[in-house]
Structure 1
Amino acid sequence: MSHLKADPHYLFDFFTGLYKMVFLMEVDTQGYKYRNVTPEAVRLASLPDDWKGRYLHEIYDEKVAAPLITQYDAATSTGQPVFYSDQMNKLSNISEYAASALMPITDERGCVRYIIGLTNDLSDSTSAKLLASIENIDYLTGLPSLLQVKSELATIEDQHISVLYLNIDRFKLINEWLGIEATNVLLKKIAKQTAGLLPSGSILGRIDGDEFIIAVMDHTEGAARALAERILDSLSVFTYEVNGVSIPVTGCVGICSIPGHPNSMITNACAAMVEAKREGRNSIRLFIKEGHLQEHIDEAIMEAELYKALQEDELTVYYQPKLNTLTNQVHYEALVRWFSPVLGTVPPLKFIPVAEKTTLIHEITRTVVRKVCHDLRTRPELFNNSRTSINLSACLFEPELIDTHFVQVINEYKADPTKIEIEITENILMKNPTKGIELVNYLKELGFRVVIDDFGVSYSSLNYLRNFSLDGIKIDRSFISQIDQMNSEKDISIVHFIIQLARKLNLYVTAEGVETKEQFDILTSLGCHEIQGYYFSRPLPVEKLEQALEHFFSYTLTEAVQGQQEVAATGLSAEDKRLKEVEQLQILDTPEEERFDRITRMIKEAFHAPVCFISIIDDHRQWFKSCIGLPEPVQTIREVPRELSLCDHVIRQKQPLIIENISEHPDESIQALFEGSGMQFYAGFPISSQGEMVGTLCITDYLPRIFNAQQMQMMLDYSKWVESELELHRLGVNGCKN
């Protein structure tokens, strides 16, 4: 009902037959104007005789109008129905309440032009029943709501029921890429297709957002799993596009086939789904009761041993170095480790969740902060010129807890807060954004840097994170693990999208879980600021850090020297190597591609430049992969002789060239290149592939320009984008060869 492209007056007449109080409101820039109202609504809403054509805010005083306008604003901004209850405006000696629904009516462009308000006096039993029915239906898909699914399951007797809990992967990122309107269409299609796969007598409901609940009758665990596999396979027919790459929709399913109350079966299926998501996309997990009980027993034992561990100082801190890809500066992440005499080595993923269910997490945090502060003070040669990150549990996300278990310890050691970075998970912020903003600001005021850890796991919107005063994000390892594999174009596109958007929001980007040189090279080409992972170093005790770093940098230097020796042995000149890389790219004389054209269009709009182009330069010509605004002959043949191109100078110098006023440039040969073109401004940036300068990204203008540092950085960011697209092109070429 959120997209009713219909006659609002007809709809008003239709609803008048069902409801006593119906309001037809026109939406314009001034507010909400009364167009038609039922007689009962006029009476019970205490409207004046001249209500028609007047605005809501004109009729009622601010105290009455403000809450109503808030509800109307919600319907207008989202384009979705809004349900609420409020005190009626009729004159009475007692307060009487009504339940209301606001149904937005959109035009063909999706803009809300009218709103139909349906109000029911809660004392009217018939109306109350009608409104109650709304709670049982999901407005978007028309499927039963969770409440209705539970109600239907409670009536089923003498049949074995299996409950499947379906969650769509990376839904909020899909929402970011597609937008709300297209995502809603996608959800409807998924609901319809899933319904077509279910056997007769099944129940399909939508819980919320990206989650669906399915109940099937007389299915064994094997049959339920087979059904889940068919559902996940069917999702792949739906795709969404990121940077020109089509990515299939995936999901995870949790299954509960153990008989029980509907509430417990749905809860257990949800728990199994969460376990499935930990395994990765397109995973299925069955809920196993015995394992669930054993898990509680293990937790009780671990809690007791963890309490002793804190008393006997068994916890230690390891540090994992993080490498800045541009400066080679090293920072660290502090990671708690537990070596138990009874349980052996216990991974943090095992004992931290147990600690978070009790106040033991408070003591663990104090222990970690205390040990970090001690190392910062006693090992200045390692830590003076670096930052050290500490993970902050969601259980401590209160100002008083942060002060007691975090800040107090730092003050005791007189540690510098600017040397400490606090990592928090994104779901902490998403659960209560208002509180999250306050606490992030509080930490920043204390001098700490604040970054989001494991970004992408909870699929929040990067655009939404602009509301927080964050310093950076860490891309979760699940996004990094596949980018060096064959057919990894989609994974690279996702990482590239995250990096580009984060950089536009001035967020420092760290990639964790980097394990191979190929991953390191790809992330560097995509513009990632910092890498963390086994490729650089494992987490180590403080006494082994210095030796490990020396080994890494000496090994890297040796690789570089060997590379130089190999080049000398081949006898190739620098230009020969450059031309060889251009040849291996296999991009010359290729058709136009949307992904490159998208970049030039965005630059043209961002800089309001008449000419923008991406070019590749071989031994004798400058060939244009994408161009906007060049003279017609050049647009047609898409090349000019190399000796007539100023971009050749950029390639040879291997650095950007900015000429703000060509006519005043001291080099007459440069002026001659532009003679007759009318151009007065030039900004050219080199584009590299595998370390070789292969082309340029340029803008020119017919008027002189001042080019500031911010614009310089923007063009550098765009050039990194071009380089990442070239890398994708290279992977595609190599994939075809294989």
Structure 2
Amino acid sequence: MLFSNTNDTIAEFLLENSKKNIFSSEQIHAFYISYNGLCLLDSYGIIINVNRSFYDIMQINIHESIVGKSWSAVLTQCGLEFPSSMETSGFDKMQGFKTHLIHKKKSNSGTQPILLSIYFRQDGSILLVLNEISDRNFEVENFLEPAELSRSRDYQSISEKERGYLSQDILTKIPNRHQFYSFIKEELNRFSHGRDINSEIAVILIDIDRFSLINELKGIEEGNRILIEFADKLLSEMAIDPNLFCSRLEGDEFGLVIRGLLTEKSLNDRLENLIDKLRFTLEFSGSSSVYLTLSAGVSFLNRKYTIVEEVVRDAEIALMEVRKRGGNGYNIFRNEMYKRKLNNHSLENDLHFALKNQELELHFQPIYSAQQKKIISFESLIRWNHPRLGYLPPLEFIYIAESSGQILKLGEFVIDRAVQVLHNFNKNSIDCEVSVNISPIQFYNQDIRDLIQVALTKYSVSPSKLHIEITESTPFTDITSSLNKIHELSQLGIKIFLDDFGTGYSSLSLLNRFPIHALKVDRSFIVGMKEKKVIEILKIIQLLGSRMNFKVVVEGIEIQQNFKILKDIGFDLMQGFLISRPMPEKNIYKLKRMIK
């Protein structure tokens, strides 16, 4: 007997036997995406594995496990009528394949003819193929072994349409864009015929954050290795979940379909769990490693959609919203997102002229020392004084700048202008420092050190007056390269601030390896200060900063009560609307009494 324990999980079976070449990865993919009902048995007729179509044809609840049960008992329970000659006692002695025409009882007292093919595989297992007599393609060729294939029918007789439908991504060997679109089209057809109307189907586009930077820094071969490993992770998930379909669309973008969802909350739980499993760190030669985060956009399949392209378009729009926020998350499509997309196209065009027309400017938000009772520094924040829409905050256009390739020019403007303001501070006897936010794209695609050095020399400003703020996730795109860049800046005299502290991953390892000067506690902690656990976390962060000799800046201070609680905990540096909203440079000079 091939499998001594029929209670082994499907995942263990597939992964183990794919290593033994009993099932190749291509056969596994074909098994799960086939529209024929497929059921794998051991030589005693015990069910080892089934695909989703088997559940559909048999009308079995997808949440009911039938692995480990007798195949004949399951088929009888489902209302199948088959000849008594189809006994399993002699299965272990049979070879080749047999075909039977059987009938399934229907609720309207009629019957549905089904072609049952039984294939006795060379490894001792048995493959059942259920095919409803209809116009569906017969796909058995894709999971039979070559010798078995020749016994079923000539491979050359498969139509071009079938080959195209069953095509796979060349690099990763998982289903490709063609299969993804075909799969969604089939689900749309289910809706049009009134099937599966009581469950939700989610179409998901998922990509690897800042993957293009990895390609540039590590080369295409290493980039391909990431894609292959990521696809293998998707394959493993698909192997244990018959409701999950995965494919690679292009580049680092993958398409997923999750079926059998009852509510949006069930999708949230499923997707959060899936994304958490798919994140991983890759090790490269020379002790270099890359931590991969993911972004995903989701659209729910429903009757408002008539073509596949509309479903995918809306998932793409939701994905763009996640990228706009910096990635590392997911978003579900809402109708208002489509309106924003149309507006973004207009803004992208306007942004080309913004620098030339001097529409971009810096505003500055003070950072206040509770102990010294004065402003000690400012964070520079870019604003776009749009001729039609008025002042736009960075959230409204930074993503557009990144996706359109204009972020580098914007970054140069910000650094030059911030250093110029420091020069003006010197002239007006204002002893304050200024911090600048650096986009991950700018961090990796520009020589930040030289760019800053040019500006400091141009305006005769000391490097110690300038801070660079990077988010927690920035260094993990390429830890070795990041470490070198940050050390160069630190050696120049620039202070490094770690922004949004507490919202990313592996922050403690950052503190240990990188020359960080200050932490900026994300405002989400301040919003949640009513919870006792959040207060305890803030105490730990304050203690961490004190013990490791880091400055700690708390962002998002908007009410006096929070200011007092944070001061009592031991925090000194505060930033938020309670202190001041961001302001243009000219307003800073009115605050001299709060600075000196």
TM-score with structure 1 length normalisation? 0.41
1:430-509 equivalence runs, <5 A: 430-483=476-529, 485=530, 488-509=531-552
Q: C-alpha distance in 2, partners of 1:261/1:397?
A: 35
Instruction: Please name the residue that 2:389 is paired with.
Output: 343
Unmatched 5+ stretches in structure 2: 1-15, 22-144, 148-171, 192-199, 207-236, 249-253, 275-295
Aligned AA for 2:543? Answer: Q
Aligned AA for 1:308? Answer: F
1:135-284 equivalence runs, <5 A: 157=186, 158-160=189-191, 162-163=201-202, 202-203=243-244, 215-217=258-260, 224-225=263-264, 227-228=266-267, 254-257=298-301, 260=308, 264=312, 268=316, 271=319, 274=322
| Partner SS state of residue 397, structure 1 | helix
1:47-446 equivalence runs, <5 A: 157=186, 158-160=189-191, 162-163=201-202, 202-203=243-244, 215-217=258-260, 224-225=263-264, 227-228=266-267, 254-257=298-301, 260=308, 264=312, 268=316, 271=319, 274=322, 285-288=331-334, 291-292=337-338, 294-329=339-374, 330-380=376-426, 384-398=430-444, 400-403=446-449, 405-446=451-492
| Partner SS state of residue 384, structure 2 | strand
Pair 1:325–1:424, CA change in 2 (3 A): same
1:264-313 CA-partner distances (Å, limit 9, x unpaired) = 589649728938999999xx953257844x44442332123222221122
Q: C-alpha distance in 2, partners of 1:311/1:378?
A: 23
1:536 pairs with 2:579: yes
1:522 pairs with 2:562: no
Contact in 1 for aligned 2:319/2:331 (Cα 8 Å):
no
| Partner SS state of residue 379, structure 1 | helix
Contact in 2 for aligned 1:389/1:420 (Cα 8 Å):
yes
| Partner SS state of residue 313, structure 1 | coil
Contact in 2 for aligned 1:166/1:273 (Cα 8 Å):
no
Pair 1:155–1:271, CA change in 2 (3 A): closer
Q: C-alpha distance in 2, partners of 1:213/1:439?
A: 37
1:447-506 CA-partner distances (Å, limit 9, x unpaired) = 1001111223333432343111111111111121121x3xx1122223333333344433
Contact in 1 for aligned 2:180/2:247 (Cα 8 Å):
no
Q: C-alpha distance in 2, partners of 1:471/1:418?
A: 11
| Partner SS state of residue 378, structure 1 | helix
Aligned AA for 2:300? Answer: C
Contact in 2 for aligned 1:153/1:262 (Cα 8 Å):
no
Contact in 1 for aligned 2:423/2:460 (Cα 8 Å):
no
Aligned AA for 2:319? Answer: A
Instruction: Please name the residue that 1:697 is paired with.
Output: none
Pair 1:357–1:274, CA change in 2 (3 A): closer
Pair 1:416–1:518, CA change in 2 (3 A): same
TM-score with structure 2 length normalisation? 0.50
Pair 1:497–1:273, CA change in 2 (3 A): farther
Contact in 2 for aligned 1:256/1:268 (Cα 8 Å):
no
Contact in 2 for aligned 1:429/1:436 (Cα 8 Å):
yes
1:23-61 CA-partner distances (Å, limit 9, x unpaired) = xxxxxxxxxxxxxxxxxxxxxxxxxxxxxxxxxxxxxxx
Q: C-alpha distance in 1, partners of 2:561/2:205?
A: 35
Aligned AA for 2:548? Answer: L
CA offset at residue 346 of structure 1? 1.5
Pair 1:440–1:267, CA change in 2 (3 A): farther
Q: C-alpha distance in 2, partners of 1:382/1:515?
A: 29
1:114-168 CA-partner distances (Å, limit 9, x unpaired) = xxxxxxxxxx999xxxxxxxxxxxxxxxxxx99589989966734357227699x
CA offset at residue 360 of structure 1? 2.8
Unmatched 5+ stretches in structure 1: 1-14, 21-123, 127-144, 168-193, 236-251, 554-738
| Partner SS state of residue 385, structure 1 | coil
Aligned AA for 2:401? Answer: A
| Partner SS state of residue 447, structure 2 | helix
Aligned AA for 1:443? Answer: L
Pair 1:496–1:298, CA change in 2 (3 A): same
CA offset at residue 420 of structure 1? 0.5
Q: C-alpha distance in 1, partners of 2:176/2:545?
A: 40
1:639-650 equivalence runs, <5 A: none
Contact in 2 for aligned 1:162/1:224 (Cα 8 Å):
no
* Identity fraction in percent: 24
CA offset at residue 436 of structure 1? 0.8
Aligned AA for 2:190? Answer: Q
Tell me how large the CA RMSD over aligned residues is: 4.9
Pair 1:280–1:532, CA change in 2 (3 A): farther
Q: C-alpha distance in 1, partners of 2:318/2:337?
A: 15
Q: C-alpha distance in 2, partners of 1:152/1:362?
A: 35
Pair 1:215–1:146, CA change in 2 (3 A): farther
- Larger RCO: 1 or 2 (CA < 8 Å, sep 6+): 2
CA offset at residue 404 of structure 1? 5.5
Q: C-alpha distance in 2, partners of 1:525/1:533?
A: 17
CA offset at residue 544 of structure 1? 1.9
Q: C-alpha distance in 1, partners of 2:445/2:523?
A: 30
Q: C-alpha distance in 2, partners of 1:154/1:302?
A: 35
Aligned AA for 2:355? Answer: L
1:486-539 CA-partner distances (Å, limit 9, x unpaired) = xx1122223333333344433221111111112112222333241100111111
Pair 1:472–1:147, CA change in 2 (3 A): farther
